[in-house]
Structure 1
Amino acid sequence: MTIVTEASPAVDEAIADVEEQMSMLFNRARLLWKEAAQKVHPDLQPAAYKLLSTIVRLGSANAHVLADMFEMDKSVVSRQVRVLEELGLVETRADEHDGRVRVLVATPLAEERVREVREGNQRRLREVLLDHPESELRSFATLLRRIAEA
């Protein structure tokens, strides 16, 4: 059971500011996904990039798991996977543990391009955050995690 207490007007205003900044951050993230997709391949859509980067991070993934993870319709995932395959970025293979199950695996080309995109993103983030003390960064990461899990 969550107990909600009255907040001061200043706290309410600060929370509203957090909400506004998160909205701006999400807009920026969508733009970065679009740019990242274009860096990987000019015909790649942002949704396909999100799937691809997750496949790269996980090593392999099942399309149904990806659909659940991103709360996407399975037909959308299927279309994006088909595009990834056509562009030579993903291969479908039999699962090592259950040959009846098909998994998606990134090609070496995809792994290289996603790594390059991530390195650029990490450089930008490092430039923005480098001047902050470690304790502040860890507190920020904790707050982001709590928001993401809410």
Structure 2
Amino acid sequence: MAAAGTVASADVDDALAEFQGHLNLIFTKARSLWKESAARIHPDLQPAGYKLLASIARAGSTNGHQLAELFEMDKSVVSRQVRMLEELDLIESRPDENDGRLRVLTATPAACAALADVRGDHAQRLRASITGLTPAELRTASKVFRLLAEA
């Protein structure tokens, strides 16, 4: 007969494997959602550009160095995406008042409006998918996501 600790460990391993599988599905869905959202903003916008644009809009203003750190992306990748965002008239760039080597990036009003529409649709989808959860269950899920983000 198996020891109680062994059974508990197997249960934890099974639960963890199921959790990891669902997490992988969430990442796949997120990539698909970024691609769809980017196309809604502009047909030539890439998912990486969409993520940067959304972050710039959320922050109000930022610079390429901060974006590279936030997304753990190579500065050259961020630079290319920023250039594309400028060419698509989704962001504006101006010299940083404190450091002339840096450019301050802000989302254009048109980009902010388009992002608001996309976010509204995302919120509706999310609300529809979690309708049956109690506030306590939502707080537990939020705790799990916070722990994962801090890991």
Q: Which residue of 1 aligns with 2:106?
A: 105
Alignment of 1:47-62 (within 5 A): 47-62=48-63
Q: What does 1:63-102 correspond to in 2, within 5 Å?
A: 63-95=64-96, 98=98, 100=100, 101-102=102-103
- RMSD of the TM alignment (CA)? 1.5
Question: Which aligned segments of 4 or more residues in structure 1 are displaced greater than 4 angstroms?
Answer: none
> 1:39-98 CA distances to partner (integer Å, 9 max, x unpaired)?
0000000000000000000001110110111011111110100110000000002335x2
Aligned to 2:150: 149
| CA drift at 1:149 | 1.2
The number of aligned residues is 145
Report the CA distance between 1:99 and its aligned residue: 5.5
Q: Secondary structure at the residue paired with 1:104?
A: strand
Letter in 1 for 2:144: L
**SS of structure 2 residue aligned to 1:8:** helix
* Bigger Cα Rg: 2
Q: Separation in 1 of the partners of 2:24 and 2:15?
A: 14
TM-score (norm 1): 0.92
Identity rate of aligned residues, in percent?
51
- Matches of 1:92 and 1:62 in 2, distance apart? 9
Shift of the 65–48 alpha-carbon distance from structure 1 to 2, 3 Å rule, reads same
Structure 2: gaps spanning 5 or more residues? none
Distance 1:61 1:68 in 2: 11
Which deviations, in whole Å up to 9, do the C-alpha atoms of 1:82-140 show, x marking residues without a partner? 110000000002335x2623210000011011111111001000011122111110110
